């Protein structure tokens, strides 16, 4: 969970600067449109902005996290913070009208109010027109935060009344730092940061026992391929297939194996600080000396080809048996 603007700065530095400057100068806009891909932190930043807006003990620009307002925003029951999400497939006119009625009332505890529209692009035409009237006549001390992954689907008249805040796709190092901030070990954080660029998905994977076991299965297969070549097909039959049971998990297994060989190439190219399986560094450095770059890239190509064939509905066990036979050559 994001607790301060320093947490946001790790992966959205430009947005952090924009919003913290506005908080510091008390010049927050009356309406923001947060747009960007899933998992880039839009909703978390929306709630952090809400806490900075309402906090009783603001620490420069970051909320204290301990006051009554901060705690109620965290628990989702602050009377002057309203969240609207699609009712079924869309946000309906009645939802916007209910919001307007709430905002017509005096603030329960202050004159401040804030609302967050999640998936704002899913408003019906009538809902969007109702919101437009709301945005055209903003109340003082009221902030609107519209969140979308597809802002091109929204009315230009709404876009023109909001300050556009574009969230950038997250870089692996930013996701790794965010995951490690949740007390997850570096070797797991480094790997989930390669598998997904969605922070929520990364947090989920990092805490998933299946994923941790998958990493160990992949390392064991790699070690069998290096040290006990003839036993690789037996390992696929006895341990691999029972863990990687469906196509999505099989693809994850191939990705994790690919990153091991990518680490070998990374070491050969002299970029050791970029190694993903950092807890295997000594072992990988030794193996990198024993293989040519051509051999490593050929093995990576074989794994990528296996991924392609997996989507062509080749029998997964046969595919893996053929792959390990190829990988243990040379």
DSSP state of 169: P
CATH architecture of the domain with range 208-327? Up-down Bundle (1.20)
- 137-173 pLDDT, tens per residue? 777 788 999 999 999 999 999 999 999 999 988 888 8
Handedness of CA 24, 46, 201, 309 (dihedral sign): negative
Query: Under the phi-then-psi rule, with left for phi > 0, alpha for psi from -120 to 50, and beta for the rest, what region is 112?
Result: beta
Handedness of CA 171, 173, 178, 184 (dihedral sign): positive
For the segment 28-53, the average pLDDT, to the nearest whole number, is: 93
Backbone φ and ψ for 85, nearest 5 degrees, come out as -125, 160
50: which 2 tokens?
A: 């809400």
197: which 2 tokens?
A: 């660029």
H-helix or E-strand containing 252?
helix 247-268
Handedness of CA 196, 185, 324, 275 (dihedral sign): positive
Whether 247 and 310 have beta carbons less than 8 Å apart is answered as yes
Residue with tokens 């709404």: 158
Going by pLDDT thresholds of 50, 70 and 90, the confidence category of residue 103 is confident
| Fold annotation for 5-169 | Rossmann fold (3.40.50)
Going by pLDDT thresholds of 50, 70 and 90, the confidence category of residue 100 is confident
Domain spans of the chain, in order of start: 5-169, 208-327
> For 274-288, what is the HEC assignment?
HCCCHHHHHHHHHHH
Instruction: Name the pTM for this structure.
Output: 0.69
């Amino acid at each position: 969970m994001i607790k301060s603007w320093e947490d946001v700065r790790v992966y959205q530095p430009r947005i952090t600067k924009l919003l913290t400057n506005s908080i510091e100068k008390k010049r927050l806009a009356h309406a923001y449109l947060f747009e960007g891909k899933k998992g880039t932190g839009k909703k978390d930043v929306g709630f952090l902005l809400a806490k900075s807006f309402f906090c009783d003990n603001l620490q420069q620009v970051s909320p204290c996290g301990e006051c009554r307002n901060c705690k109620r925003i965290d628990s989702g029951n602050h009377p002057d913070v309203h969240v609207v999400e699609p009712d079924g497939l869309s946000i309906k006119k009645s939802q916007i009208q209910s919001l307007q009625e709430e905002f017509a009332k005096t603030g329960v505890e202050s004159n401040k109010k804030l609302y967050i529209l999640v998936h704002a692009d899913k408003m019906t035409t009538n809902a969007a027109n109702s919101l437009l009237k709301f945005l055209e006549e903003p109340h003082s001390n009221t902030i609107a935060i519209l969140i979308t992954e597809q802002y091109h689907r929204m009315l230009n008249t709404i876009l023109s009344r909001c300050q556009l805040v574009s969230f950038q796709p997250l870089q692996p190092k930013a996701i790794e730092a965010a995951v490690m901030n949740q007390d997850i070990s570096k070797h797991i954080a480094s790997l989930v940061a390669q598998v997904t660029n969605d922070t929520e998905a990364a947090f989920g994977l990092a805490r998933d026992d299946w994923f941790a076991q998958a990493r160990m299965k992949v390392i064991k297969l790699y070690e069998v391929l290096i040290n006990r070549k003839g036993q690789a097909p037996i390992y696929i039959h006895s341990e691999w297939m029972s863990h990687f049971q469906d196509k999505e998990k099989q693809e994850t297994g191939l990705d994790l194996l690919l990153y091991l060989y990518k680490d070998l190439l990374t070491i050969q190219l002299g970029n050791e600080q970029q190694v993903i399986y950092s807890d295997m560094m000594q072992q990988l450095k030794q193996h990198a000396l024993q293989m040519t770059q051509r051999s490593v890239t050929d093995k990576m190509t074989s794994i990528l080809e296996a991924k392609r064939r997996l989507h062509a509905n080749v029998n997964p066990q046969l595919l893996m048996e053929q792959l390990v036979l190829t990988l243990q050559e040379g």
